[in-house]
Structure 1
């Protein structure tokens, strides 16, 4: 298929994924949870994609004792760096979401995603809210997400976190140095209100090549000061 060749070509831009899950030990079988829609249905042509990569140490800092986040945050199933929050179709007038579909991921498919996205509910919700608008079935949606996710290489964020006067531009520079073929304006950086790194948002065109992020996805500018919680 032409679209799959485009994905493979995009994945070839980068060296293999640096380990983002450390000694990941996940259940082999889980039950697929029911996901309730919590926003409006929006259907529109897909013109690109966003890969959201959550910085797990920051996410888990206030959640280590919460049972609902135990897979990711307890340490019993491994330690995580950047995890795959989601792979989101985009449109010219915003983003599609909650597209009507009878397709649902099976428990086995969800279990296979957990080392990349260590939450059963997160995986199920990402399909229901975003994957349903991709035009693919669940197996293809997860396969595409994984090919692109595993093609990425991440620099040493523990080392980067110790840099004096760290900025969002430093994060973009380090990511560019590790991933041949990417571009600065395709790397979104999201921080919380206290200036700590929460997420990278990588912007792709319809053919799965890096394309400039719009303002919504680009996040903070290069000169924005930020901090990285190590927690590993």
Structure 2
């Protein structure tokens, strides 16, 4: 079952239209990157996978108060380029509002695999954590987890979020519909959002079925109602 689902995912992604590049830039690191050790911070939960969430973090908001923190230097300092959305993680979903996590594994991404992921997820500790907490519940191969994440990421087309951020009276529904209009096969109901307590966009959470095709988000992943006001920080 697991192998069949991954085969479908690869076929779907490879048949997708080429992605339009984002306006922000990134430079792939030269040479391998060390793989940080990750400590489990929650219980092991093994269960049937019923779908997936591709969580995408909006970097200008994430970096808003972190641009001088050494841990986030690659993503936030500007020395490696400027980032817009980046992959927070590809998460398996379980039945209802549950999800599998921290499935046992002794494998870790290789330094080369880490380096190749840095323009998608520019924090080595984040990439490592996503594999150990989520990816190991999807496949025994960390390279396969990162490849399918990259394929899903590359299949997306990006509207101009800088322009969208300047729209007056912007709502969550406007953001969802703008993304759906730019991406064939996506509907606004497939796009979840997370905003912070100040009403600024933090993440977009794209909802997939167990066949890796877009599907409507449940209430937990959908986030704010369509008529709620949302602001998008562009950075300085």
User: CA shift at 1:136, angstroms?
Assistant: 3.6
CA distance in structure 2 between the aligned counterparts of 1:39 and 1:14, rounded to whole angstroms? 39
Matches of 1:177 and 1:192, distance apart in 2: 25
How many residues in Structure 1 have an aligned counterpart in Structure 2? 232
Q: TM-score, normalised by structure 2?
A: 0.94
The offset of 1:8, in angstroms, is: 3.6
Residue 45 of structure 2 is matched in structure 1 by: 42
The residue number in structure 2 matching 1:229 is: 233
In structure 1, C-alpha distance between the alignment counterparts of 2:62 and 2:130, rounded to whole Å: 17
Q: Structure 1 residues 131, 217: closer, same or farther in 2, change over 3 A?
A: same
Report 1:75-86 matches (<5 A). 75-86=78-89
The residue that corresponds to 1:61 in the other structure is 64
Deviations 1:142-179 (A, max 9, x none): 11111000000110000000000000000011101100
Deviation (angstroms), 1:13? 4.5
Report Cα offsets for 1:93-113 as digits up to 9, x if no partner: 411011111111111111110
Structure 1 97/80 Cα, relative in aligned 2: closer, same or farther at 3 Å?
Answer: same
Residue aligned with 1:80, SS: coil
User: For each residue in 1:74-103, what CA deviation from the matched residue of structure 2 results, as whole angstroms up to 9, or x when unmatched?
Assistant: 000000000011000111041101111111
What's 1:3 paired with?
Answer: 5
Contact 1:20 1:82 survives alignment (8 Å): no
CA distance in 2, matches of 1:17, 1:133: 31
Q: TM-score, normalised by structure 1?
A: 0.95
CA RMSD of aligned residues (A): 1.5
Q: 1:57-206 alignment to 2 at 5 Å?
A: 57-93=60-96, 94-206=98-210
**Residues 15 and 25 (structure 1 numbering): CA distance in 2 closer, same or farther, change over 3 Å?**
closer
Contact 1:21 1:115 in 2 (8 A): no
After superposition, the Cα gap between the structure-2 partners of 1:109 and 1:13, relative to the gap in structure 1 and judged at 3 Å, is closer
1:220 and 1:137 map into 2 onto residues whose CA distance is: 35
Q: Which structure 2 residue ranges, 5 or more long, are not aligned? A: none
Q: Where does residue 30 of structure 1 map in the other structure?
A: 33
Distance 2:74 2:35 in 1: 15
Q: Which moved more, 1:1-10 or 1:170-179?
A: 1-10
Shift in alpha-carbon separation, 1:150–1:20, aligned structure 2, 3 A = farther
